[in-house]
């Protein structure tokens, strides 16, 4: 009989931003914008994009007047809710970047992603940000023949994109089992370029650091309109030479931006701490991040206090680019994630779910992230990281620094800089399209689980339509 309710612990919480805030509680609010203000740079959005940009700008030019304008509190969005993969996965399709700028530029972008993982770790150590960081790499695991074939097929193009022999290592089922026992696993690929982080600790720590450097962070301050030289709020207007939009999944809420990036929903569950006997059965002693190769894939981390956190799509998109605020997750999604948890790790059969939450990330129509600054108007943005924003926000911050300070560096020549983004279809096409795609991906996964040797035709068609 299928259960209609997830197995939850007595301390179970649904939403309340995310589990990552349970340790230490939600942060006390900083003051809101006191009225009209003049600064050099206004950063709209207090997530990692806004904060990294503030950090690198202030470091390069300490006398710059910088204000971060945040609707709720710094870290309220995806930056305080994510799966904690500080990974070098590209924030877009390399062949698309290469098509516009050539393969050397795409490979340079991949190398920057590798080094950005280490840059985040370096800054966290240098600034005393304690974010449970541990770099044990990333495992992509195949649990059926079609997934295994996808891993094999992807290898040549990854090599061409700059993943050398040391950057990506193939593991057979036995080699994988030495690291972690995922039920039914046939093979895996391991990359050293990924660290486990505790998202709220990272974003909160970074906000404190930039504030100490002299950046003003105004919370409870919603920007209603961005125009050249101005970020408009109900509390006052911030005039600035540069106004940078750093809203990712919330971009659609801004006037005139509702078709730029699709607010894609992602949901997570975290278990209660596992008994040692359960860990012994799973054998996962390191802090590797784990992703499966299903079409509606999931992402997994072992938390520092011995829980498993697992995320996936759930309800991928809400009509009219609506975003929920506090991160509540529907029961059906909790059950889906619980089923994936038990499927991959049967030893968790009696483990309860302690917290569930959701958030939004930004997806451009061509699934390729962009960073941009119009030198004429001073308006800029970065985002659309398609679920790989934890590392890419750092690269975005350093790139925006160079663009704002008009530095001619290698970063400003990367292929995602100034890339034009096509808008999403109007409603109801957008809703129908995205919802149908994820129904298709789930059907494709069921099809592949029935013994298919290659990627299901349903998934291939869905990939063509989605542009993924
Ligand atoms: C559940 C989940 C799991 C994820 N897992 C991973 C992962 O493991 N690895 C990875 O690389 N990426 C992951 N991502 C994506 C990654 O977290 C994001 O791409 C990244 O954090 C985006 O950072 P940001 O600063 O651009 O946006 P956000 O962190 O979303 O920040 C935007 C901020 O803008 C504020 N805001 C909204 N509207 C306004 C307004 N009008 N005025 C002022 N402020 C406003 C919001 O409150 C928010 O604080 C995940 C995302 C989600 C939701």
Kindly list the distances between the CA atom of residue 364 and the CA atoms of 261, 319, 383, in Å, as whole numbers in the listed order. 5, 17, 9
- The pLDDT value given to residue 39: 98
For ligand 1, whether the C-beta of 219 sits within 6 Å is no
Alpha helices per DSSP H over 267-388? 276-282, 331-344
Pocket test for ligand 1, best of 54, 368, 390 (most atoms within 8 A of CB): 390
pLDDT at 420: 85
Closest Cα partner for 317 from 429, 421, 392?
A: 429
Please check whether residue 360 is in contact with residue 250, taking contact to mean a CB–CB distance below 8 angstroms. yes
Predicted pLDDT at 1: 47
DSSP type of residue 41: E
146: left (phi over 0), alpha (psi -120 to 50) or beta: alpha
- Residue 247 contacts residue 45 (beta carbons within 8 Å): yes
Q: Which CATH architecture has domain 8-466?
A: 3-Layer(bba) Sandwich (3.50)
φ, ψ (nearest 5 deg) of residue 415: -70, -10
Instruction: End-to-end CA distance of the chain: give it in Å, rounded.
Output: 36
List the structure tokens of 451.
């013994």
Q: What is the DSSP secondary structure assignment for residue 201, as one 8-state letter?
A: H
Report which ligand 1 atom has the smallest distance to the Cα of 357.
1
Residue 142: is it exposed, middle or buried by C-beta count within 10 angstroms (0-12/13-18/19+)? buried
Query: 410 is written with which tokens?
Result: 């290698």
Which of 48, 82, 323 has most ligand 1 atoms within 8 Å of its beta carbon, as the pocket-test mutant? 82
Question: Quick one: how far is CA 343 from the chain centroid?
Answer: 24
Of 85, 272, 290, the C-alpha closest to 181 is 290
Using a 6 Å cutoff on CB, does residue 82 contact ligand 1? yes
Q: Which of 290, 264, 289 is nearest to 343 (CA)?
A: 290
Atom in ligand 1 nearest the alpha carbon of residue 222: 42
Query: Could you tell me which residues are beta bridge partners of residue 350?
Result: none
Cα(438) to centroid(ligand 1), Å: 21
Q: Which atom of ligand 1 has the smallest separation from the CA of 84?
A: 8
Instruction: Assess contact for 290 and 182: CB atoms under 8 A.
Output: yes
Which atom of ligand 1 is closest in space to residue 49's alpha carbon?
Answer: 25
> Is residue 271 helix, strand or coil?
strand
In angstroms, what is the span from residue 93 Cα to ligand 1's centroid? 20
Q: For residues 236 and 35, is the Cβ–Cβ distance under 8 A?
A: yes
417 CA to middle of ligand 1, Å?
20
Tell me the angle at which helices 103-127 and 199-212 cross, rounded to the nearest 10 degrees: 80
Closest CA to 139 of 66, 194, 212: 194
User: Cβ(73)–Cβ(45) under 8 Å?
Assistant: no
Cβ of 81 less than 6 Å from ligand 1: yes
What pLDDT is attached to residue 383?
97
Residues of the chain with pLDDT under 50: 1
**Ligand 1 centroid to residue 174 C-alpha, Å:** 37
Q: Where are the domains of the chain?
A: 8-466
Q: How far is CA 384 from CA 174, 248, 392, in A?
A: 37, 6, 10
Beta bridge partners of 38: 239
DSSP 367: S
Q: CB burial class (10 A; 0-12, 13-18, 19+) of residue 86? A: buried
What was the pLDDT predicted at 440?
A: 84
């Amino acid at each position: 009989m299928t259960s209609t309710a997830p197995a939850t612990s007595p301390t179970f919480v649904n939403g309340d931003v995310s589990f990552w805030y349970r340790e230490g509680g939600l942060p006390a609010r900083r003051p809101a914008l006191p009225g009209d203000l003049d600064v050099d740079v206004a950063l709209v959005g207090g997530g990692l994009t806004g904060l990294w940009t503030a950090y690198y700008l202030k470091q390069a030019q300490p006398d710059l007047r910088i204000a971060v304008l945040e609707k709720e509190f710094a870290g309220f969005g995806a930056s305080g809710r994510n799966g904690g993969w500080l990974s070098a996965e590209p924030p877009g399709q390399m062949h698309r970047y290469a098509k516009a700028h050539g393969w050397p530029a795409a490979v340079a972008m991949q190398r920057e992603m590798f080094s950005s993982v280490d840059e985040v770790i370096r800054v966290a150590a240098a600034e005393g940000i304690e974010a449970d960081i541990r770099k044990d790499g990333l495992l992509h695991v195949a649990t059926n023949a079609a997934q295994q074939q996808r891993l094999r097929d992807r290898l040549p193009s990854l090599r061409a994109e700059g993943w050398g022999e040391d950057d990506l290592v193939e593991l057979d089922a036995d080699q994988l089992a030495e690291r972690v026992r995922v039920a039914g696993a046939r093979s895996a690929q391991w990359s050293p370029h990924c660290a486990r982080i505790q998202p709220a600790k990272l974003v909160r720590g970074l906000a404190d650091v930039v504030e100490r450097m002299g950046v003003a962070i105004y919370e409870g301050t919603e920007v209603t309109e961005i125009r050249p030289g101005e970020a408009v709020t109900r509390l006052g207007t911030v005039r600035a030479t540069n106004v940078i939009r750093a809203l990712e999944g919330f971009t659609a809420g801004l006037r005139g931006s509702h078709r730029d990036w699709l607010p894609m929903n992602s949901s997570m569950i975290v278990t209660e701490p596992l008994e040692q006997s359960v860990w012994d059965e799973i054998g996962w002693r390191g802090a590797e991040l784990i992703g499966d190769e299903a079409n509606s894939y999931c992402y997994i981390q072992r938390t520092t206090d011995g829980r498993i956190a697992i995320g996936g799509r759930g309800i991928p998109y809400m009509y009219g680019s609506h975003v929920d605020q506090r991160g509540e997750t529907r029961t059906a999604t909790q059950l889906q994630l619980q089923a994936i948890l038990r499927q991959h790790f049967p030893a968790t059969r009696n483990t309860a779910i302690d917290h569930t939450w959701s958030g939004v990330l930004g997806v451009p129509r061509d699934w390729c992230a962009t960073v941009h600054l119009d030198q004429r108007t001073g308006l800029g943005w970065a985002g659309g990281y398609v679920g790989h924003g934890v590392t890419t926000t750092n690269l975005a911050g350093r790139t925006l620094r160079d663009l704002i300070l008009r530095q001619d560096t290698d970063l400003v020549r990367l292929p995602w800089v100034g890339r034009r983004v096509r808008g999403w279809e109007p409603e109801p096409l957008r809703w129908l399209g995205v919802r149908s795609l994820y129904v298709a991906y789930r059907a494709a996964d069921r099809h592949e689980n029935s013994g298919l040797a290659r990627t299901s035709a349903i998934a291939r068609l869905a990939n063509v339509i989605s542009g993924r």
